């Protein structure tokens, strides 16, 4: 009798655990970034001028009960382009940006961002969530947090955001002296436009 009760309890617990697991899995959804539709726009500024351009982005996102739970993104540094200069100066700028003074493509071909937390905000036209994660750039990883607008539908997820980050925190320290001829401001402006499609 005692053995029968233990066996019955074990079966009940197993069924409950499996039911909880199935319920949890039934709410999970997975999305892949559509690299052709998505972009990261950057803007780097000096006191008297600025340059703008874009990066490509790749990655995957997980959601549960209409909330983002995980996300990992890769930014190929080789995808950087400039959009405000003619072809000759454009190529010169890109060579400089991908060199040792800035992104150092030869040693660090990718930047990465891994979501660690997504928290709701009072919604407005520009944002409804705050995204926090670990951002890796030129070999250094530090926390990065920014407000974003997340729009989730049955088969797609769109994320837009505009924010700045201080390049000095990640060790990108070239042209940081205001008394030198070329002085680049520490903050880089970023605009995200990320479109993700639900996996089958």
CB 193 within 8 A of CB 34: no
- pTM for this one? 0.84
Mean pLDDT of the chain: 90
Q: How far apart are CA 137 and CA 44, in angstroms?
A: 16
Q: How far apart are CA 157 and CA 68, in angstroms?
A: 10
CATH 2.40.10.120 is right for the domain spanning 29-198: no
Give the model confidence (pLDDT) of 119-165 as tens digits. 999 999 999 999 999 999 999 999 999 999 999 988 999 999 999 99
Start-to-end C-alpha separation, the chain: 48
Q: What is the pLDDT at residue 196?
A: 98
What is the average per-residue pLDDT within 8-33?
A: 62
> What does the block give as tokens for 51?
């340059």
Q: Tokens 């009760």 label which residue?
A: 5
pLDDT band at 33 (very low <50, low <70, confident <90, very high): very high
What is the average per-residue pLDDT within 182-192?
A: 97
Q: What is the pLDDT at residue 200?
A: 78
């Amino acid at each position: 009798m005692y053995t029968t009760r233990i066996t019955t309890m074990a079966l009940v617990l197993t069924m409950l655990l499996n039911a909880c697991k199935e319920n949890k899995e039934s709410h999970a959804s997975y999305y892949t970034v559509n690299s052709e539709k998505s972009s990261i726009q950057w803007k780097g500024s000096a006191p008297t001028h600025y340059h703008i351009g874009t990066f490509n982005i790749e990655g995957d996102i997980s959601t549960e009960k209409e909330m983002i739970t995980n996300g990992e993104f890769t930014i190929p540094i080789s995808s950087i382009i400039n959009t405000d200069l003619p072809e000759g100066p454009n190529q010169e700028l890109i060579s400089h940006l991908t060199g040792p003074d800035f992104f150092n493509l030869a040693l660090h071909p990718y930047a990465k961002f891994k979501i660690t937390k997504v928290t709701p905000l009072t919604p407005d036209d520009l944002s409804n969530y705050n995204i926090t994660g670990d951002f890796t750039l030129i070999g250094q990883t530090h926390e990065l947090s920014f407000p974003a607008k997340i729009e989730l539908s049955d088969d797609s997820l769109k994320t837009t955001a505009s924010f700045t980050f201080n390049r000095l925190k990640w060790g990108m320290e070239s042209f940081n002296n205001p008394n030198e001829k070329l002085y680049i401001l520490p903050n880089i402006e970023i605009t995200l436009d990320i479109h993700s499609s639900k996996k089958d």
